[in-house]
Amino acid sequence: MSNSTTIHLPTTATSVFPESFYIITITIFAVLLLPTFYIWRCHGRPGILPYSNVYAICAVHIAGGALSIAAVNNSGLEIGAAVLNSMAISPLLLAALGVLHEARKARNLTLNNTREWRMVAGYHALVLVAIILFIIGIVDVMNGKTTAQKSGLIKGGLALLVISYFILMVWALSSIKTPGRPAVSTFQEGTKLLYAAVLAMPFIGVRLIYGILSFLLTNPHFSRSLLVKVTLSLIPEVVATALFVVAGFATKDMWKGLKAPKNVEAGYSFEMRA
């Protein structure tokens, strides 16, 4: 692979960042991964949507970091490392959506499930299309067919991710309005999850801006700066993920006093236990 190709795909891992950076990244997300299994188990079916994506965030960073280290001595792994390191924003958005979705239902048990799930499915489809365009564009750049600055697929994927971010931001902020306090214990816990989703949005936004600038700026110094990478990429992702983990742990018992009928999808319609 030529040096010019590497420059045009700034987020590819090889010798751009030191090995210690990837080791630290792997360690941090391994630590965040461990309580995720416990939180997922405690939340049960309502926790599938948020905490499967928190798991995905950690797994992507661990695998991406490992491939980045290995790619230094094996150029054949560069595409895999580049793809994994570039797609972390998608599970981050979906995890925020999952936390928001669980929060909305916990705060209002009479929420329209059908409409809510249609909105969730539509959002997933939007993010999925964005990441598919993005990955195809990255592969084209890695194969020397174009540059990141000229790739319509990468620009299209980034545009859809920006749209996804603002949709989620509006959705989260509009959910802060109290829907009328229901006489159930899950309202307060749901509010904690809601605040976690809202607080995570600025950090996700910073990470998204970093990704856009890294791919579209022609000056390689920005994307090759370790300080910029840590402050605008690693720290925002760690903070957002930690918010989800902490909020999940703080609300781990929220569904224990309730049960879900077997014929209800994903455990979001509940009745009080006798």
Q: What is the tens place of the pLDDT at every residue in 48-96?
A: 999 999 999 999 999 988 888 887 777 666 667 777 777 789 999 999 9
The C-alpha atoms of residue 143 and residue 147 are separated, in whole angstroms, by 10
pLDDT of residue 274 exceeding 70, the answer is: no
The predicted structure's pLDDT at residue 180: 55
pLDDT of residue 168 exceeding 70, the answer is: yes
Amino acid identity, position 178: T
The predicted structure's pLDDT at residue 270: 43
- What value does the mean pLDDT take over residues 11-32? 81
pLDDT of residue 14 exceeding 60, the answer is: no
Which of 1-5, 35-39, 45-49, 114-118 has the lowest average pLDDT?
1-5
Closest alpha carbon to 252 in 35, 91, 32, 105:
35
> Do the beta carbons of residue 36 and residue 51 sit within 8 Å?
yes
Greater model confidence, 27 or 258: 27
Q: What is the mean pLDDT of the chain?
A: 82
The predicted structure's pLDDT at residue 179: 61
> Do the beta carbons of residue 58 and residue 32 sit within 8 Å?
yes
Q: pLDDT category, 265, cuts 50, 70, 90?
A: very low
pTM for this predicted structure:
0.84
> Do the beta carbons of residue 252 and residue 68 sit within 8 Å?
no
The C-alpha atoms of residue 97 and residue 95 are separated, in whole angstroms, by 5
Residues facing 258 on adjacent strands: 272
pLDDT of residue 129 exceeding 90, the answer is: yes
The C-alpha atoms of residue 234 and residue 161 are separated, in whole angstroms, by 18
Q: pLDDT category, 146, cuts 50, 70, 90?
A: confident
pLDDT of residue 184 exceeding 70, the answer is: no
The C-alpha atoms of residue 172 and residue 198 are separated, in whole angstroms, by 6
The predicted structure's pLDDT at residue 1: 41
Mapping DSSP to helix (H, G, I), strand (E, B) and coil, where does residue 94 land?
Answer: helix
The predicted structure's pLDDT at residue 220: 74
